[in-house]
Amino acid sequence: MKKRSVEVIQDLRHFLTKGQICFDLSNFKYYQMFCNALEATGTPYRLQVNELEKI
């Protein structure tokens, strides 16, 4: 749990500085934690989901 929290914080910092982030939505627990942390900052955001190309 601690490792996942550290990853969420790192990704949140990256998102707040760069304005975008990519991650796998199949890990729903991580997605939930990230969105909750982002909402706690009060930063407005828009979610855009892109489908991966199958090779």
Q: What is the pLDDT, as a whole number, of residue 55? A: 65
Instruction: For the chain, 55 residues long, give each residue's pLDDT as a single digit of tens.
Output: 677 888 888 989 998 898 888 877 788 888 889 889 999 999 888 888 777 777 6
| Predicted TM-score (pTM) of this structure | 0.71
Q: How far apart are CA 35 and CA 52, in angstroms?
A: 21
Q: What is the pLDDT, as a whole number, of residue 30? A: 87
DSSP state string for 9-53: HHHHHHHHHHS-----TT-HHHHHHHHHHHHHHT--------PPP
Q: What is the pLDDT, as a whole number, of residue 3? A: 77
